[in-house]
């Protein structure tokens, strides 16, 4: 091979070597870049997942905190110091009058009421039988206090499943509203009627609270007690985590000369409605 051919061959080999180096470098650089890109993508995905989960946890925690605050407000309202003071005074009055039987009845009602409230302080639901017992105890104490100012009836249909779970103190709140805002606000008083029924087809609990007191547009929060407003907020929160919803319908109890009289509140609580707090 001549010197010229040798130089040409060396140039060719050099060019081939450079091309091979460039190709290899390009391949290695691209492979490294892909690995870096994949690693960055995975890291970004984990970071985004962490951010989303943190936000979800914070939101769930905030909802739980709000639910517990609503429950505390509900219990505080149910065991209003003014009401408790009057109930204790009723027991004391009966004892001073040597009305032992009446004093025992009032003390028993107060004990049941407080036991139910304190026992259920950690939960949002209890059995229907407990709700009914709470309502009866409350009305018995208020009846003694106001005497002839009002009468009440609590009727539970015999086929109703009284072990069904219902939101604690929910029905009671509307009973309290019927008494305080409806009957006791009327000069000549009136009647409070509580009917507990059950839909035979889907086992929905139907609670109907009616009064013949003053008519109130109960869709307006101004006509509800603080207790009832808290109960409505609790319904909204619990409905948000259940497919089946609690429904509340308001209507007049009748009319006189074209004017609405009294109020009716109908609560429908689906069977299997969950009163549990959503897990984080």
Q: List pLDDT tens digits, range 151-204.
A: 999 999 999 999 999 988 889 989 988 998 899 988 888 999 999 999 999 999
Q: Give per-residue pLDDT as tens, 99-110.
A: 778 778 878 887
| Mean pLDDT confidence for 24-42 | 56
Above 60 in pLDDT, residue 16? Answer: no
Q: Beta partners for 194?
A: 154, 209
CATH code matching the domain that covers 65-269, chosen among 1.10.101.10, 3.90.1150.10, 3.20.20.30, 3.30.565.10 = 3.30.565.10
Question: For the ranges 28-37, 87-96, 227-236, 250-259, which has the lowest average pLDDT?
Answer: 28-37
Residues 138-146 have a mean pLDDT of: 89
**What residues does each domain of the chain span?**
65-269
Q: Given this model, what pLDDT does residue 183 score?
A: 93
H-run or E-run covering 158: none
Asked whether the predicted pLDDT for residue 280 surpasses 60, the reply is no
Question: What pLDDT does 38 receive?
Answer: 52
Region for 279 from its dihedrals, namely left if φ exceeds 0, alpha if ψ lies in -120 to 50, beta otherwise:
beta
């Amino acid at each position: 091979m001549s010197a010229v051919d040798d130089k040409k061959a060396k140039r060719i080999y050099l060019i081939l070597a450079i091309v091979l180096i460039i190709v290899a470098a390009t391949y290695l650089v691209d492979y490294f870049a892909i690995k870096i890109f994949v690693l960055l993508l995975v890291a970004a995905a984990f970071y985004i997942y962490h951010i989303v989960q943190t936000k979800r946890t914070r939101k769930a925690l905030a909802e739980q905190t709000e639910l517990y605050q609503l429950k505390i407000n509900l219990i505080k309202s149910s065991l209003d110091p003014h009401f408790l003071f009057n109930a204790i005074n009723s027991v004391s009055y009966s004892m001073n009058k040597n009305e032992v039987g009446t004093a025992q009845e009032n003390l028993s009602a107060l004990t049941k009421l407080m036991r139910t409230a304190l026992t259920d302080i950690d939960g949002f639901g209890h059995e229907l039988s407990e709700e009914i017992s709470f309502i009866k105890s409350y009305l018995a104490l208020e009846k003694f206090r106001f005497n002839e100012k009002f009468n009440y009836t609590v009727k539970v249909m015999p086929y109703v499943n009284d072990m069904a779970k219902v939101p604690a103190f929910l029905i009671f709140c509307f009973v309290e509203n019927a008494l305080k805002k409806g009957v006791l606000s009327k000069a000549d008083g009136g009647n409070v009627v509580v009917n507990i029924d059950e839909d035979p087809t889907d086992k929905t609990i139907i609670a109907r609270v009616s009064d013949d007191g003053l008519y109130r547009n109960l869709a307006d929060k101004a006509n509800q007690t603080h207790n009832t407003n808290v109960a409505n907020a609790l319904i909204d929160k619990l409905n948000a985590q259940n497919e089946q919803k609690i429904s509340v319908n308001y209507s007049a109890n009748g009319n006189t000369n074209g004017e609405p009289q009294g109020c009716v509140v109908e609560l429908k609580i689906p069977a299997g409605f969950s009163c549990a707090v959503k897990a984080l």
